[in-house]
Structure 1
Amino acid sequence: MIAIVTILITLVISYFLFTNFYPTFGGDITKERKEIYKESPQYKNNKFNNTLPVPKDLSFTETLSLAYKFFTTKVPNARPKKDLNVKTVDSADVANYNKESRLFWYGHSSFLLQIEGKNILLDPMLGKVAAPHPLMGANRFNTKFPIALEQLNKIDAVLFSHDHYDHLDYETILKIKDKAKRFYVPLGVGVHLEAWGVAKDKITELDWWQNTKLDNLTFVCTPAQHFSGRKLNNSQSTLWSSWVIQSKQDNIYFSGDSGYSPHFKEIGDKYGPFDIALMECGQYNQMWADIHMMPEETAQAGLDVQAKKIVPIHWAGFKLALHSWTDPIVRVKARAKELNLDVITPEIGDEIIVKDTTNNTTNWWENY
């Protein structure tokens, strides 16, 4: 009994030291911030909440059971057989670009958006693993990127959807914190950026349905059905969101992470139609269907937001669920065909012209 108690105490102390002093965990919400967030309709009982009563609070036993299943279940074709090919983007072309709006996918949910002469990063996560430490996660599917962050001549804005490790990465922030001019985040996420050295006056925090301007661009923080937290004791302490990005010529939707819910139709009614929608499609399971859409729901959500075409995201980056790595794209394409919805499936680094209605992308994943 003494040995067991000693082990438990050691584990608790180790966890406390690790989460409080290892920098990747980010910051903690202060009492002063909590007082501010009480003004948000989403903030109740000292945490942020979805409109619907999800996600379900798991008991300790349920959490252990879920973790055991995740780490012990063997998933066929869980990863590509080799590193994914990446199209290289010429840094000079990026630096001098001032034409119609375009996107470059970095894999998973990360993008470079060039619009109105500006470079905007969406959920830039270029880390090796989606975890607080390299030993705590599997490597991403691609080792290279279309253009290194160091090669970007400027970063006018960075948008984050929430604070999970596969979207908000410590090492990535260290690379861009001095170069990026502005950061736009849902309520609370700024606390992590500040902990990592981003100047407070460069950060704009928004609640759902709030908007802000950057010259001729409008950013709208819109709802999502998800959750947040970077350690066990700060779940739901920061808000999660999707984003609407508007210029005079273009209307873009970025879903962030979300379960399927009525908010998609509400966003479509308020801000649609969209020239293109970047829609979450991957890392799902029936056990957590309320916070991650099934591929068939992704296609339906594309219709709900009134998208002229969708790009499935949140796949081809990391193994964070129990499905094969190609299951998301195969299923969403099949359902989108039934719904007569155009689906763009770029390789990492392919140029995506926002208003281009020509879909010449291929089933490139079949080569892996």
Structure 2
Amino acid sequence: MKPALLLGAAASLCACSAANHVERVQDDTTVVAYRNNDSDSGVFRNLHPRVAVYPENCTEDCYPETPAVACQAMGENCQFVGAQPRPKLVTGFTIQWFGHASFMIETPDKQQWLLDPVSKQFDWPVDVAFKLAGGFYRNEPSWLSESQLQATDAVFYSHIHYDHFNKDDIAAIGTQAQYFTPLNFADYFPDGGYRIREMAWYGRSQLGEMKIHFVPANHFSGRIWVPFIYDDNEKTLWGGWLFEHQGKKLFFAGDTGYSAHFQEIRAKYGEIDVCLMPIASYHHPEKSIWYRYVHTTPEDALVAAQELGCKVMIPWGYGNVSWKMGDISSHSALLRLLHMKQKLKSDVPVYVLNEGESLVL
């Protein structure tokens, strides 16, 4: 090998094996909760137990068809086509939804951020195991180009489940971005010089002009490399993100069930301008109580948005590129949301995006 090529190969190898730089935001102002209140266990838990009685429930005719949602089949392969007024907000945020939980945010100070970016399937080989166990490969979303990915300033992860965190996407985004995660996330990153900031609930950070808060969610975590072997459940934290610029606030709830944490977030930070709220993955004929504990139904999301003081709610989790885990169809959750908003006479402004669409607020 020529000296120049040898030198280049060595430099490349050195760059690939560079250690990650990990910071931890956890002090007396932050909160975490451990199973049985035993911090030595290293196993996190939610702040609140299961809700005994939910504020609102749809019990029958929950998925009526509507002219606002054009579908190729019953609740499948749909587009939202209804009229909706643009929210009367000026926040400086631009929001693009790629599908499921993946968003790109342009901040008021012109940073480009990604939330839970997953461009393809689950990480291999779990994607194959999921399909063999009765799942399927989802339709893959339209995605950012290489140059667009390289322009990413920050990446935020809500939790470590495969539909929210994918190592191939980390490699594609690269090391120029700052990564924000819940506690104990860094061990799941590949080496390579990534800058990772792990945060406890109510931790605060800053990037540019943006204030960044990590807030509680009602969920769980786990990463299964060998299917059906659960050796890391709840050892990484989970949560949502609240972004603030000159008093204007955008909230990404992450995967979560309904609990008192929404009221607590409102009490701590005040009314929220824009709320990105999950509305799917709550339906399971045999495990419906558990599913709802960790995933909001559409009516739960409407109640939560009211409690948060959301000036506009943008729903997510449904759609043509979703995995439909715990859903009746690709757009059943959206149909139920529109139905329950009318039935409950909810005054929460809801703006519906189709995958790939953007909204400037």
Provide TM-score, normalisation by structure 2.
0.71
Aligned to 1:109: 101
Shift of 1:142: 3.7
Aligned to 2:271: 273
Amino acid paired to 2:103: F
Partner of residue 43 from structure 2, selected from 10, 28, 47: 47
Partner of residue 352 from structure 1, selected from 350, 353, 359: 359
Aligned to 2:314: 311
> Partners of 1:254 and 1:319 in 2: how far apart?
20
Aligned to 1:122: 115
Shift of 1:273: 1.4
**Closer, same or farther: CA 322–336 of 1 in aligned 2, 3 Å:** closer
Moved more, 315-324 or 133-142: 133-142
Aligned to 2:4: none
**1:114-168 residue CA offsets vs partner (Å, 9 max, x unmatched):** 01110011111112347753323322234423x3354345111111100000000
Amino acid paired to 1:168: F
Aligned to 1:175: 172
Amino acid paired to 2:191: G
Higher relative contact order (CA 8 A, sep 6+): 2
**Closer, same or farther: CA 268–149 of 1 in aligned 2, 3 Å:** farther
- Structure 2: which 5+ runs fail to align? 1-23, 52-72, 81-90, 225-229
3-state secondary structure, aligned to 2:275: strand
Amino acid paired to 2:338: K
Write out aligned runs for 1:252-331 (5 A).
Answer: 252-285=250-283, 286-287=288-289, 288-316=291-319, 317-331=322-336
Aligned to 1:217: 210
> Partners of 2:315 and 2:191 in 1: how far apart?
32
> Partners of 2:147 and 2:170 in 1: how far apart?
12
Aligned to 1:207: 200
Corresponding position: 1:154 with 2:147:
no
Corresponding position: 1:226 with 2:240:
no
Amino acid paired to 1:353: V
Count of equivalent residues? 280
Aligned to 2:3: none
Moved more, 160-169 or 331-340: 331-340
Shift of 1:40: 5.7
> Partners of 1:153 and 1:169 in 2: how far apart?
17
3-state secondary structure, aligned to 1:290: helix
Aligned to 1:190: 186
Between Structure 1 and Structure 2, which shows a larger proportion of helix residues? 1
Q: Does the Cα contact within 8 Å between 1:250 and 1:275 map onto a contact in 2?
A: yes
RMSD: 2.8
**Closer, same or farther: CA 269–327 of 1 in aligned 2, 3 Å:** same
> Partners of 1:105 and 1:302 in 2: how far apart?
19
Q: Does the Cα contact within 8 Å between 1:132 and 1:165 map onto a contact in 2?
A: no
Shift of 1:175: 0.6
Shift of 1:277: 0.3
Amino acid paired to 1:161: S
**1:193-215 residue CA offsets vs partner (Å, 9 max, x unmatched):** 2xx12535x11111001111112
Amino acid paired to 2:157: F
> Partners of 2:295 and 2:123 in 1: how far apart?
17
3-state secondary structure, aligned to 2:231: helix
> Partners of 2:246 and 2:126 in 1: how far apart?
42
**Closer, same or farther: CA 78–291 of 1 in aligned 2, 3 Å:** farther
3-state secondary structure, aligned to 2:180: strand
**Closer, same or farther: CA 143–112 of 1 in aligned 2, 3 Å:** closer
Amino acid paired to 2:272: F
> Partners of 1:323 and 1:41 in 2: how far apart?
34
> Partners of 2:185 and 2:75 in 1: how far apart?
30
Aligned to 2:57: none
Amino acid paired to 1:261: S
Provide TM-score, normalisation by structure 1.
0.70
- Structure 1: which 5+ runs fail to align? 1-32, 56-76, 86-98, 355-368
